[in-house]
Structure 1
Amino acid sequence: MYAYAFLEDFVLLYPVYAVLFADTGLSPAAISSLFVIWSVTTFALEVPSGVWADVFSRRSLLVVAPLLSGAGFGLWSLFPSYPVFAAGFVLWGAGSALRSGTMQALVYEELERVGAAGSYARLIGRSEAMSLVGVVAASALAAPVLAVGGYRALGAASVAVCVACAVAGWWLPESRGSGAEGGREASLGSVVRAGWAQVRGEPAVRWSLVLVMVVEGLASLDEYVPLLVRSTGVAAVSVPLLVLVVTVGDAVGGWLAGRGVRWLAPLLAVGAVLLAAGSLGERPGGMVLVGAAFGVFRWAIAAADARLQERIGDGARATVTSVAGLGAESVALLVFVGYAVGSRWAGAGVLVGAVAVPYVVVAVVLGLAGWRGRVHREM
């Protein structure tokens, strides 16, 4: 699982693909429109992929997912243009949808099978940390590879890593069967009904879903980190190194997942302040504060995800988790559209810093509800 997580994000194009789009001549609004295409694709396939994961082999879906993403990266590096970038995001979105919900369900059920479900938050958080270590490694390598071989070299390396990720996915453990009794159509129908019953009938599930949707959806802000770094005035070859600073902070947050959950509300507020302070200054040194903020947000996502997994049943686990992913994509879409519209009047520093406001709202709501008080009893 750690190997899969590392390879999934050890993609050398990650730190600079927004810069690739800009260097190709795309405006900030056009770049945001690509993110919208990506988000809409994931949105459309999110729940269907969750149902497939509850009916068929989850491991098989996790093998296919990185291959789709790799195909998109290959197209970007060979034929850089807006239509090809859009097609690549469709492929990447499809791969993201296949993984979303599927990995969480597979991990939780395998842990539950061996009596270790309590380790989920720590394991999934560290898995996210390994993903970010992959991003760190990719960020460190991207600059010299870009300097020597350009964007095509980055694309070729990214495709190779995606293939390796698919191989790692094949070795993930899966003890469940690849279908339910009663036939494929009956299985699909029963999974959908079971998932809907949990969301509709259990307030604890609904509350957990909303929390995951908002906290995870707002984290889509990380797509603009390269543009934020570029706005500080550094050269293009230095962008991956400053993106690396932010990614390290993000990874530390994932590694600390499962600890200090009772401080979720105040720490989210602190993260919001750090985000605003680091972004609005538009200085290279501010990326340290932005990295710390993303670390808080990563830790919070793992906490919210673990609480959701504790409250949903196995029969439709991937389906319900995909509903959370669907909501997160909706929030992400609002972030992308907001950035596109706001880019007509403001720069990256102001636009990124503005996202601190909804994080503060979430922190206030959690504080009023009582993360360890009333919320715990209701959930």
Structure 2
Amino acid sequence: MLTLLRRPLREVDATATFYVLTAVAAFAYAACFTLNLVFQYRVVGLDPFQMVLVGTVLEATCFVFEVPTGIVADLWSRRVSVIIGFFLVGVGFAVEGVVATFAAAIVGNVIWGIGYTFTSGALQAWITDEVGEAHVARVFTRETQLDLAFGFVGILAAGGLGLIALRVPIIVAGVTLVLLAVGLAVTMPERHFHPTPRGERETFGHLKDQLVAGLRIARGRQVVRVFLFVSVLVGLSSEVFDRLWQVRVLDTFEMPAFLGSDPAVAFTVFALIGSVVSLLASGASGRWLPARVVDENPGLPVALASAAQVVAVVGVALLGNLWLVLAALWLHNASSAFSAPIQATWLNRNLESASRATVLSMNSQANAIGQVAGGPPLGALATRTSIPVALLVSAAVQLPSVLAFLRIRHTTTRSLE
């Protein structure tokens, strides 16, 4: 196995390999996550606090291991890092699905969280090295298309396999990723890797330097301060919504008669509809929103999207009709998909090239810190009171983000520099 990690038995084209692993991984992730929370609630028997705690452990694992696993990709091999990553993610999925206990859910999420950090960054760096910066944009565009297409296939597979048992799609996803790792060990090429120079390597010292540099930039730029503030708020509030909306639906409503009594079918249909709605919303922000709005007043559509998310969380908490609750869920996800490209454009336009990676990394870290800090208290609140109460509190936590974006909606890019 060590020999395969160092050198594949038969190298194939790097671009073709990237497309295949993209398709397989998209299928496996969708197959696992479509019914994962239903599995945790119905089969494992987790209460709301335990479900949120599992997600918090995952976020904390990814945050802690991002740097040490990045060292493997920097010093040893991007290829090795990717293979190890997919193998561990697959093992983590399988452990959770086969054992089906709270402890297994924790252990499985720790394992696959570590695996994810092995692939994070390393996969994109590998394909960029192999095809060259001049050609990688085309490859990433195709990757997005494959990810969407095979994600839909994975959702459909989750529904079919879930009819056998809710654990089956999770186990199948895990086995699929383990086999993907074995296949990559046999065929994945790496012809252009060079160890990262010492001064550019990801280390804990480098992470500290990023934090200091990011805070220095934030002090001088209002837009950066707002994004960091909002990232913390979204992290604090999002974990309870992401982990418990399915429990809210299962506890409160009967599934529609035409979908049958098995939640595998119902939640597969809900996921498919949600994916289509979010895809349309993402396209709308680029095609239908006037460019002048994004260039001169980006805070307004972002604030409106944030307000829609807050309203949607309140709707999921309080509405008494299944389809209205689902409409609120789809509104929440569509609003996020709509605003994401606008936010990315807005933030990147207000950063110099030298500081861009630092601030973007710090923005992601702020969200992760918020999720780790906010998840357990809101999960405990949901267990001690009710899920609607916890959702309302999470909506209140996110509400200041709307006001923060509105405060700078009339500020131009130039004045923020």
Is contact 2:51-2:243 (8 Å) kept?
A: no
Partner of 2:155: 139
Q: Distance in 2 between matches of 1:230 and 1:299?
A: 28
DSSP-derived class of the 1:114 partner? helix
Distance 1:222 1:77 in 2: 20
Give 1:202's aligned residue.
217
User: How far is the alpha carbon of 1:72 from its aligned partner?
Assistant: 0.8
Query: For 2:383, what is the secondary structure of its paired residue?
Result: coil
The separation in 1 between residues aligned to 2:235 and 2:123, in whole angstroms, is: 16
Pair 168,183 (structure 1): closer, same or farther in 2 beyond 3 Å: same
**Hey, what does 1:8 align to over in structure 2?**
25
2:95 matches 1:80: no
Matched, 1:355 2:394: yes
- The yes-or-no answer on 1:294 pairing with 2:333 is yes
C-alpha distance in 2, partners of 1:155/1:243? 16
For the pair shown, the structure with the greater C-alpha radius of gyration is 2
Q: In the aligned structure 2, how far is the partner of 1:133 from the partner of 1:228?
A: 29
- How far off is 1:265 after superposition? 1.4
Question: Structure 2 residue aligned with 1:20, among 39, 47, 60?
Answer: 39
Displacement of 1:88: 0.2
Q: Percent identity?
A: 16
Alignment of 1:270-281 (within 5 A): 270-281=308-319
Distance 1:349 1:18, change over 3 A: same
- Please give the TM-score of this superposition, normalised by the length of structure 1: 0.76
User: How far 1:102 sits from its partner (Å)?
Assistant: 5.1
Q: How does 1:119-268 map to 2 (within 5 A)?
A: 127=144, 131=147, 134-148=150-164, 150-163=165-178, 166=181, 177-181=193-197, 188=203, 191-192=206-207, 195-196=210-211, 198-203=213-218, 204=221, 206-207=224-225, 208-212=227-231, 214-215=233-234, 218-220=237-239, 221-231=241-251, 232-234=253-255, 235=261, 236-237=263-264, 238-256=266-284, 258=286, 260=289, 261=294, 262=298, 263-268=301-306
When residues 281 and 182 of structure 1 are mapped into structure 2, their CA distance, relative to the original with a 3 A threshold, is: closer
- 1:352, distance to aligned residue in structure 2 (A): 3.5
- TM-superposed CA distance for 1:155, in Å, is 3.1
CA distance in 2, matches of 1:209, 1:74: 36
Q: Tell me: CA distance 1:361–1:339, structure 2 relative to 1, closer, same or farther (3 Å).
A: same
- The residue type paired with residue 340 of structure 1 is G
CA-CA distance at 1:87 after TM superposition: 0.8
What is the deviation of 1:340? 1.4
Alpha-carbon distance between aligned partners in 2 of 1:233 and 1:161, rounded to the nearest angstrom: 33
- Tell me how far 1:277 sits from its aligned partner: 2.2
Deviates further, 252-261 or 219-228: 252-261
Q: 2:380 aligns with which of 325, 330, 341?
A: 341
> Partner of 1:327 in structure 2?
366
Q: CA 1:183–1:31 in 2, change beyond 3 Å: closer, same or farther? A: closer
Cα deviation digits, residues 161-203 of structure 1 (max 9, x gap): 424665689999999744234599x885885576356424423
Contact 1:339 1:351 in 2 (8 A): yes
- Note the aligned Cα RMSD (angstroms): 4.3
Q: Which moved more, 1:323-332 or 1:53-62?
A: 53-62
After superposition, residues 296-315 of structure 1 pair within 5 angstroms as: 296-308=335-347, 311=351, 313=353
Structure 1 regions of 5+ residues with no counterpart? none
Equivalent residue letter for 1:19: V
Q: Distance in 2 between matches of 1:40 and 1:9?
A: 23
Shift in Å at residue 90 of structure 1?
Answer: 0.2
Structure 1 residues 4 and 134 mapped into 2: Cα distance closer, same or farther (>3 Å)? same
Which residues in structure 2 correspond to 1:7-86 (within 5 Å)?
7-10=24-27, 11=29, 12-22=31-41, 23-49=43-69, 57-58=77-78, 60-86=80-106
Distance in 2 separating the partners of 1:153 and 1:163: 15
- Letter of the 2:334 counterpart: G
Tell me the matched-pair count.
Answer: 371
**Unmatched 5+ residue regions in structure 2?**
1-17, 256-260
The TM-score, its normalising length taken from structure 2, stands at 0.71
Counterpart secondary structure, 2:332? helix
Task: Write the distance in 2 (CA, Å) between the matches of 1:331 and 1:30.
Answer: 18
Conserved in 2, the CA contact under 8 Å of 1:254 and 1:295? yes
